[in-house]
Structure 1
Amino acid sequence: MQEIFSPEVAVDVMLYVSTRLKNPTIHEVLKIQYFADKLHLARYGFMPSGDSYIAMEFGPVGTKTYDLIKAARGERTRFIPASFVEATTGHLQVNGADVVVLGEPDLTMLSEAQIECLDEAISEYGNMDFKKRTDISHDDAWDKGRARVNKCMSTQDIVGTLQNAGEIREHLNLQEAGCH
């Protein structure tokens, strides 16, 4: 259903996205990942980030990618794995809301399909006004996630926002809404 989350690949995705934006922000990078994951899900039947999404105030956020953002911001708590600190060190930094690129992405870590979906999401949602991008990200899956205590956005709910939802549900053999 999903790829396994890799902090190194997630950093490469953030670097790839950030190098293609005028002034990359946390919000912009995280939303582009969500939109690219949805595009990939609709076309190829899985979300390449391997991340789980939660419904935060300003839209969907990949939980592990957000922990990488925290590591790049310099946060050090027991909830941020040392591997996340290591993956961001020398590659990515976060100052306030701004994402600062310190290195180039390793494109060999990203598939052609993933790059295609990232490019499309960047083209459509990159350098977009914060409010407009937030409003677009507040889709039905986000609404359902906001109603849950843990704010979890289930894969089934995300699939439900796709034009080819029936086909993808069948492909994934999705039965019940749950948070995975």
Structure 2
Amino acid sequence: MNKTSLFDERRAAQAAAFLLHKAGGGLPLIKLVKLMYLAERLSLQRYGEPLTGDQLVSMQHGPVLSQTYSCINGATQSLEGGWETWVADRAGHNVGLRDPSMIRSPELDLLSLSDSDLEVLSETWTEFGHWNRWDLVQYTHEHCPEWKDPDGSMIPISHLTLFNKLGYTPEQALALSSRLATQEQLKAAFF
């Protein structure tokens, strides 16, 4: 899967750190993956803007943020101030903060995240943070209609598909997904 040029590793790492901080320092991997996806989805639903800019994909256990999943699995080289700064290496099926003392207050220490990002993450945590991982998997299967069973593979979820499933009119969905594609092209041209 190609890395989408809208993906911001620092924002993804700090979003993960926010959720891990709320959990007391660690979470089961699949729970973190589901919470990250639900936060990305809420940001796109509410603001038409991504939280991490990651590629959305359908996998066996539901929708996932592709590059974030690669970061969790150590499959990518981390940027300075990125994933490895905030999140410890995966330990079996669990993920934790690299150094919990780095976060005294998310608002003061997770500076790559905007106020609206923190709001989305906080709402996601409030709604789903107490759920167990397998209930979250089931929830994403049943309540994220953009997810399709990939039959053991991985299927991209386009922004257009997601915006349509989120209830935007076809015109709005096309305009929002076109704007994100233009942002991606511009970012790719300058970076």
Q: Is the 8 A contact 1:91 1:101 kept in 2?
A: yes
Residues 120-144 of structure 1 deviation map (CA, whole Å, 9 limit, x = unaligned) = 111111130223211211222112x
| Partners of 2:13 and 2:121 in 1: CA distance | 14
Please state if 1:82 is matched with 2:85. no
Offset at 1:168? 4.2
Identity %: 23
**Residues 26-46 of structure 1 deviation map (CA, whole Å, 9 limit, x = unaligned):** 111111111111111122112
Amino acid at match of 1:131: W
For normalisation by structure 2, the TM-score amounts to 0.74
Does the CA contact (< 8 Å) of 1:140 and 1:157 recur in 2?
no
Contact 2:58 2:155 in 1 (8 A): yes
Q: For residues 5 and 50 of structure 2, what CA distance do their matches in structure 1 show?
A: 7
Alignment partner, residue 75 of structure 1 = none
2:34 matches 1:31? yes
RMSD (Å), alpha carbons: 2.8
Q: 1:170 to 1:88 in 2, by over 3 A?
A: closer
Indicate the residue corresponding to 1:113 in structure 2: 116
Distance 1:131 1:162, change over 3 A: same
Could you tell me which runs of 5 or more consecutive residues in structure 2 were left unpaired when the two chains were aligned: 104-108, 179-183, 185-191
Counting only pairs closer than 5 Å after superposition, residues 119-134 of structure 1 correspond to structure 2 as: 119-134=122-137
1:15 and 2:17 equivalent? yes
Change (3 A) 1:172 1:57: same
C-alpha change, 1:135 and 1:167, in structure 2 (3 Å) is farther
8 Å CA contact 2:11, 2:51 repeated in 1? no
TM-aligned CA distance change 1:29 to 1:173, over 3 Å? closer
| Matched residue, 1:157 | 161
Checking the alignment, whether the CA contact within 8 Å between 1:146 and 1:152 is kept in structure 2 is no
**Cα displacement (A) at 1:118:** 0.7
Match of 1:76 in 2: none
2-side partners of 1:136 and 1:84: how far apart? 32
Secondary structure of 1:46 counterpart: coil
Does the CA-based 8 Å contact 1:59-1:137 persist in structure 2?
Answer: yes
| Deviations 1:99-133 (CA, angstroms, capped at 9, x unpaired) | 11123354211011111111111111113022321
* Stretch of structure 1 that moved more, 60-69 or 165-174: 165-174
Aligned equivalents of 1:95 and 1:165: distance in 2?
Answer: 43
User: Per the alignment, do residues 5 and 165 of structure 1 end up closer, same or farther by CA in structure 2, a change over 3 Å counting?
Assistant: same
Q: Which moved more, 1:153-162 or 1:117-126?
A: 153-162
Do the aligned residues in 1 keep the contact of 2:42 with 2:120 (CA within 8 Å)?
yes
- Normalised to the residue count of structure 1, the TM-score between the two structures is 0.78
Could you tell me which of 31, 50, 53 is aligned with 1:50? Answer: 53
Distance 2:85 2:160 in 1: 37
